[in-house]
Amino acid sequence: VDDRVADALFVERLRAGDEAVFTRVFEEHQPVLLRLARVFVKSPSIAEEVVQDTWVAVIDALDGFEGRSTFKTWIARIAVNRAKTRAARDGRSVPLSALEDEEGAGEPAVEAARFLSSGLWAEWPTRWAETPETLALLREVREAVEETLGSLPEAQRAVVTLRDLEGWTAEEVCNALEVSESNQRVLLHRGRARLRAVLEQVLEVGKRS
Amino acid sequence: MMCQEMSELMTDDMEGSLGGARKASFDRHLAACAPCKAYRHQLETTVATLRRLPPEEASAEARARAFAALRTWKRDLM
């Protein structure tokens, strides 16, 4: 509720054309909008165009902002719609229910070969010695994450981007992507599992060399 | 509950959506199983790592265009 009150106040200032407030809004939301656009539009330059168009659309639509969702989920929805429209126009086929599809739904979180037939671990995971702070600075890790994100189904990538890269809550993500709570959880589960598996591989290779 | 099932329930647990008897048996297994604990730690480390990746930078052009849109809009208000 506090978010909404704050939103209502600064949307009013935005409507009055307050550039100082717009500067803050722009700096705060531009990075996530870019990441979100990249989910649907692979080319960085086209993603940037999509985000620029999003800002224009946001400004045009300010009078229509009713505060039923938070401002940040509202602009994220505008960005997602524009990115999908652009992707479709450029010939990338985006199923109508792209965010609801269950691509990779049958895939286990951990490959079956890691378990014995009893369901116990055959090849045990080990505790990583590296902290997240260290991992986030490693070039191999950044490249592997970037590549894996690029290979995830769009819905998984969108959820992981907002939840984990941006730190949004489940509720905010459901709202921005218009997916159900349980679907959000399934998509997050698959996306995180893939990323974990890739990081495990990177760290194992690092240990051997 | 076996380790393989545990691996499929990790996100549900991290999201706080496991309840009742299932949650109890999940917790019992996790407390006793070293590889499942390590797996959980890997998942949490993965999430924390993603959170620390540097944000995308806004280009000067993007910023200029957004502000131009705001000014056009403001002019139309007058």
Tokens 């989910």 identify what position? A39
Q: A106 or B7, which is more confident?
A: B7
Residue of A16, A51, A200 lying closest to B42 (CB–CB): A200
Torsion of CA B41, B47, B49, B52, to 10 degrees: -140
Q: Quote the pTM value.
A: 0.90
Interface test with B, best of A59, A181, A202 (most B CBs within 10 A): A59
- Distances in whole angstroms, Cα of residue B68 to Cα of each of A8, A20, A205, B63, B72: 23, 14, 49, 9, 6
* pLDDT at residue A104, rounded to an integer: 58
Among A10, A11, A22, A194, most B C-beta atoms within 10 A, so best to mutate, is: A22
Instruction: Give the Cα separation of A177 and A2 in Å (integer).
Output: 22
Between chains, do A108 and B7 touch, taking CB under 8 Å as contact? yes
Q: Are A159 and A100 in contact (CB under 8 A)?
A: no
**Quick count: other Cβ atoms within 10 Å of Cβ A12?**
13
Interface contact flag, B43 A196, Cβ < 8 Å = yes
Q: Do B56 and A31 touch (CB under 8 A)?
A: yes
Q: What is the mean pLDDT of residues B13-27?
A: 96
Q: How far apart are the first and last CA of chain B?
A: 67
| Contacting residues of A for B76, CB less than 8 Å apart | none
Coil, strand or helix at A115: strand
Question: What per-residue confidence (pLDDT) applies to A95?
Answer: 53
Average of pLDDT values for A68-73?
Answer: 90
Residue range B19-23: mean pLDDT, rounded: 95
Tell me what pLDDT residue A107 has. 83
pLDDT reading at A98 higher than 70: no
Minimal CA separation from A179 to chain B, in Å: 16
- Mean pLDDT confidence for A20-40: 91
pLDDT digits (tens, 9 = 90+) for A35-65: 999 999 988 889 999 999 999 899 888 888 8
- B3 to chain A: nearest residue by CA? A120
Rank A128-137, A199-208, B69-78 by mean pLDDT and report only the highest: A128-137
| Highest averaged pLDDT of the listed ranges A24-33, B21-30, B55-64 | B21-30
Cα separation of B63 and A45, whole Å? 14
pLDDT of residue A209: 55
Confidence of residue B75 (pLDDT cuts 50, 70, 90): confident
CA distance B56 to A47: 12
- Distance in angstroms (rounded) separating the CA atoms of residues A176 and A70: 9
Average pLDDT over residues A66-91: 91
